[in-house]
Structure 1
Amino acid sequence: MFKHIIEKIEQFETIIIHRHVRPDPDALGSQMGLKTMIQQTFPEKHVYAVGEEEPSLTFLGRMDRIEDSRYEGALVIVCDTANTARISDDRYDKGEVLIKLDHHPNEEPYGDIVLVDTTVSSTSELIVALQEDTPILTLNEEAAFLLYAGIVGDTGRFRFRNTTGETLKRTALLLDQGIDTQQLFNQLYRRSLPLVRLEGHILQHFELFDDKVGVMRLPKETLESFHVTANESSLLVNCFSGVEDIQMWVFFVEEEESIRVRLRSKSIVINEIAKQHHGGGHPVAAGATAYSWEEVEIIIGKLRELAKQHI
């Protein structure tokens, strides 16, 4: 499969790379890392990265603004996106060939070529595996920095159980490129004063049900009062995860027309609940969408019932 993907990259003169909406470090790291490697290997090709920007992560690269005509006869690659509804920039299907590269469960196998590996920590690690298998792609310091950021983001700095021996071996390949890890951590984990103050509010006001399920509701008014965006609040999703006996936790973040649901667990599988509410994801890290605070209460009830089943 790796060889087939490289053949397509070699074949097309225009390559457009997408990823999911509301990007995290892995989405941007895999997208921009792959773009950088292709550009370094094939400087004559036209390679673009598209989608909306996340202000807190622009240090990983800026998005390209391209006309619809660029998609004519182009190869389109979508990174780190399980289903088409979450692809940033809905022109992803306007090219000649579509490739899906992902590490989430393959519940929607869209595209002409589908490479999904749920055993890797991140799509960034999958890109490193691609380069390992087909070293024609140039891995330089810039690409290594981006892919390292993606792996760090999705492994929680190598603390999560998705960190394997292969993950560390591939990370070593990136470190061997001479990347400045201190620069990355300074950028990736910096927090504005408003965000720090919001964290204090969360620690004071989150609810704990049955000593097992942590819940935090963040209405628009709360975010506005702290001058923090819904996207920025994602940095705080694990801030009370170390509470004694807690097994799972959830953030409900109100947006303009819906409520974003961020689900996390130490070991109990919670992505089935996410699927029941317009979402999905990994077994212990998933996302969903609620459309009313009444639906929020239903989700909390399901989490509490699930926790009781695992006493």
Structure 2
Amino acid sequence: MNLIKQYKTIIIHRHVRPDPDALGSQGGLAFLIKDNFSDKNVYIVGEESDSLKFLIQMDQIDDAVYKNALVIVCDTANRERISDERYSCGAHLVKIDHHPVVDSYGEPEWVNTESSSTSEMLCSIYRSHPEFTLSKEAARLLYAGIVGDTGRFQYSNVTADTFLAAAELVRLPFNRQAFFAQLYERSLEQTRLNGYVLEQFTLTEEGVGYVKLTQEVIRSYHLTSSDASALVNCFSNVAHIKAWVLFSEEGEVIRARIRSKAPAINQLAAKYHGGGHPMASGATVASWEEADLLIADLRALCAQ
């Protein structure tokens, strides 16, 4: 908090293709600062996510705003994945993250891999400063981040501290029912593509599930690659599945969303130009032939 006191302008970034924790920690921190330091100019930047605009929308700022500004990057393990390259244009850079360190940057670099989410980490700031106030908007966003990265408190990254943080947040009067309804809402087109994925995915003898969605298929449902990727968990509850990957073609590259119940997959994701959590990662391949190599590596990992 000493750095925040020193700077008049704070600009908060997060990773590309944001998920609820990226937006929740970014927006939650912004509101936490505004709630307790009313004299600060606080901005959040990065590309928009159409499906998550209900959480928060980004600010549009000029390059000049970065002069003498404190820049904080949330939920991003490496500089390559920071949304909006102007993060390096500020006077000072801070990193707040819960992923394993891939790229060391920022001073300080606050990384806690034992935390379920970056949003949970930020809750600890509020909980350790009894003089701070917390608005319902800050609570809603931080809660969204925790829910997103724990799969509604189902994943193994959930600890007693996770529940304590969530309990603190739900004391605030935000509408949890409306939040859950919006978070898990699917368009009619996504629902129909969901049916296609369930029909077409493959399950190997090693317990690897995968499906390949070409641009032609995605466009036939009037959707984008981002819309398709949101369906990554739609076949996760199939018996005997250990790990799974959904490939969605996007322009000149193919995005791979990888999830696991057993083997750690973040090192595999790093091999294919990605990264993330041991049980949830993302990667990028240049061709369907390279996608097959990723599948082969994932099968070998599950066979171990």
- Whether TM exceeds 0.5 here: the answer is yes
Aligned sequence identity (%): 53
How far apart are the structure 2 equivalents of 1:166 and 1:147? Answer: 14
| Structure 1 residue 102 corresponds to structure 2 residue 66 | no
Among 201, 208, 217, the alignment partner of 1:206 is 201
The letter of the residue matching 1:125 is E
Q: Does the Cα contact within 8 Å between 1:52 and 1:88 map onto a contact in 2?
A: yes
| Structure 1 residue 23 corresponds to structure 2 residue 21 | no
Aligned to 1:79: 74
| Structure 1 residue 156 corresponds to structure 2 residue 156 | no
How far apart are the structure 1 equivalents of 2:261 and 2:163? Answer: 21
How far apart are the structure 2 equivalents of 1:36 and 1:239? Answer: 33
Q: CA RMSD in A?
A: 1.0
The letter of the residue matching 1:194 is E
| Structure 1 residue 46 corresponds to structure 2 residue 41 | yes
Q: Does the Cα contact within 8 Å between 2:43 and 2:59 map onto a contact in 1?
A: yes
Residues 74-127 of structure 1 deviation map (CA, whole Å, 9 limit, x = unaligned): 000000001001100000011111000000001211112100001111111111
TM-score, structure 2 as length reference: 0.98
Aligned to 1:3: none
Question: SS of the counterpart of 2:38?
Answer: coil
| Structure 1 residue 10 corresponds to structure 2 residue 5 | yes
| Structure 1 residue 229 corresponds to structure 2 residue 224 | yes
Q: State the shift of 1:73 in Å.
A: 0.4
Q: State the shift of 1:18 in Å.
A: 0.3
Question: SS of the counterpart of 1:59?
Answer: coil
How far apart are the structure 1 equivalents of 2:292 and 2:20? Answer: 30
| Structure 1 residue 250 corresponds to structure 2 residue 269 | no
How far apart are the structure 2 equivalents of 1:200 and 1:273? Answer: 28
Q: Does the Cα contact within 8 Å between 1:270 and 1:284 map onto a contact in 2?
A: yes
How far apart are the structure 1 equivalents of 2:133 and 2:97? Answer: 21
| Structure 1 residue 277 corresponds to structure 2 residue 272 | yes
Among 261, 264, 268, the alignment partner of 2:263 is 268
TM-score, structure 1 as length reference: 0.96
The letter of the residue matching 2:212 is R
How far apart are the structure 2 equivalents of 1:70 and 1:82? Answer: 25
Aligned to 2:292: 297
How far apart are the structure 1 equivalents of 2:125 and 2:137? Answer: 17
Q: Name structure 1 gaps, 5 residues minimum.
A: 1-5
Aligned to 1:174: 169
The letter of the residue matching 1:86 is R
Q: State the shift of 1:137 in Å.
A: 3.9
Q: Name structure 2 gaps, 5 residues minimum.
A: none
Q: Does the Cα contact within 8 Å between 2:117 and 2:146 map onto a contact in 1?
A: yes
**How many residues are matched?**
304
Q: State the shift of 1:199 in Å.
A: 0.3
